[in-house]
Amino acid sequence: MKLLGIDTALNACSVAVIDGDAILARVVSAGGKGNAERLLPLLEQARLAAGIDLADLDGIAATVGPGSFTGIRTALATARALGLALHKPVWGITTTDVLAVAAAQPGHATVAVIDARRDEVYIQCFAAHPSALGAALTAPQLLRIIDAAAILPAGPTVLVGSGSALLQAAAGMRDDLILSPQSPDPDPVLVARLAASRPPPARPPAPLYIRPPDAALPSVVQPAARLVLNIRMVGAEHAAVLAALHADAFASGHSSEAWTEPNLCELLAMPGALALLGITDGDQPAGFILLRQAADEAEVITLAVHPRQQRRGVARRLLNVGLDKMAGLGAKQCFLEVAEDNAPARALYAAAGFIDVGRRSGYYRDAAGGARDAIVMRK
């Protein structure tokens, strides 16, 4: 079975083509920046080295995380696009699985640990096995380094990944902890081989975004500091990120409750739905807007901005881009509801040209059971 393996989740851009046990091509470009621009040329380089056409592939496998938000999206979007165009199955493989398989030693537990910055690591622990990688003891998770040290398996343990030395130090230099010499980046050959060992998936893989949206700012932000915001259309594969943003944005009580990932999947599946996600130049989700268009009318369903990025123009940018896209689809007017006591949002919408046209009594309810009116606005 000929499989394509892709990884851009961490600090490399890499592609491999295998045919059973044979490695037909393996191309790795170090450095985690610019993966979106590098991936397709590397893929073509690997295809030529393998001497195949893309149509000859039996499937595609890509890392789904944990790792860089942009890196995860790059590999997975490419793999899913290829799978759709070629009518081939697409496997999603976690970075921790790949790292652990590469480093496993007989009779040793294995811990894949990735430096997530800010004194945190992505970690997954695997049990010892007489001859191969043992069963997973935990799911991939994000922990403070000190908390990660507390869940390390007892006995001889191999640490692999960019966070290995940090975790070893936090564990008090245990004599039975071994730092693996394996690369801290997933091997694309193993990405493909792990896919080959698993049945074809029933549905396309989704990204594994463990870290909630977090756009941390310095303790003192200069008023003139310019926020670079990239706005992209996203779909249901980003529902977990949107749900976390919504929960953070409305924690102060301007919404009846935070929307869950299933809620957002349902909303994104509606005809005419459009979601725009704002990403900072620091590769962190800053906010999103969800709209819906039907015939010549549009509706702003929700607009959410992470608290640390509020009052920096994110909401205004998302709203303007969203309205432009709705107009481009033929909408002549747009409606929305906003809580009567949400003065910042009402001011934002008024500045964008919305006017009050109605009221819905008791539309919003808070955790204490209280009710607030919604103001209906139209542009």
pTM for the structure as a whole: 0.64
What's the pLDDT at 216?
A: 41
**Most confident residue range from 248-262, 284-298, 362-376:** 284-298
What's the pLDDT at 211?
A: 62
Task: Tell me which of 3.30.420.40, 3.40.50.720, 3.40.640.10, 1.20.1050.140 is the CATH number of domain 97-179.
Answer: 3.30.420.40
Q: Rounded CA gap, 233 and 274, in Å? A: 7
What is the tens place of the pLDDT at every residue in 187-237? 999 999 999 999 998 888 888 877 654 434 444 343 445 678 889 998 887
What is the tens place of the pLDDT at every residue in 101-115? 999 999 999 999 999
Average pLDDT over residues 91-95: 96
Asked if 52 contacts 4 with a C-beta cutoff of 8 angstroms, the reply is no
| Nearest alpha-carbon partner for 353 in 326, 325, 328, 316 | 316
- At residue 189, what are phi and psi to the nearest 5 degrees? -65, -45
CATH of domain 229-378: 3.40.630.30
- At residue 323, what are phi and psi to the nearest 5 degrees? -65, -40
What's the pLDDT at 215?
A: 38
User: Is 177 in a helix, a strand, or coil?
Assistant: strand
What is the tens place of the pLDDT at every residue in 63-90? 998 998 888 888 988 998 899 899 999 9
For domain 2-93+185-196, give the fold: Nucleotidyltransferase; domain 5 (3.30.420)
Q: Domain extents for the chain?
A: 2-93+185-196, 97-179, 229-378
| Nearest alpha-carbon partner for 163 in 125, 106, 136 | 125
Q: Is the pLDDT of residue 252 over 60?
A: no
Dump the DSSP string for 332-379. -EEEEEEETT-HHHHHHHHHTT-EEEEEEEEEEE-TTS-EEEEEEEE-
Same topology, domains 2-93+185-196 and 229-378? Answer is: no
In the block, residue with structure tokens 């607030």: 372
Cis ω for the linkage preceding 186 (within 30 of 0) = no
Average pLDDT over residues 16-21: 96
Distances (CA, A) of 249 to 103, 207, 286, 335: 41, 22, 10, 21
Please provide the average confidence, as pLDDT, over all residues in the chain: 88
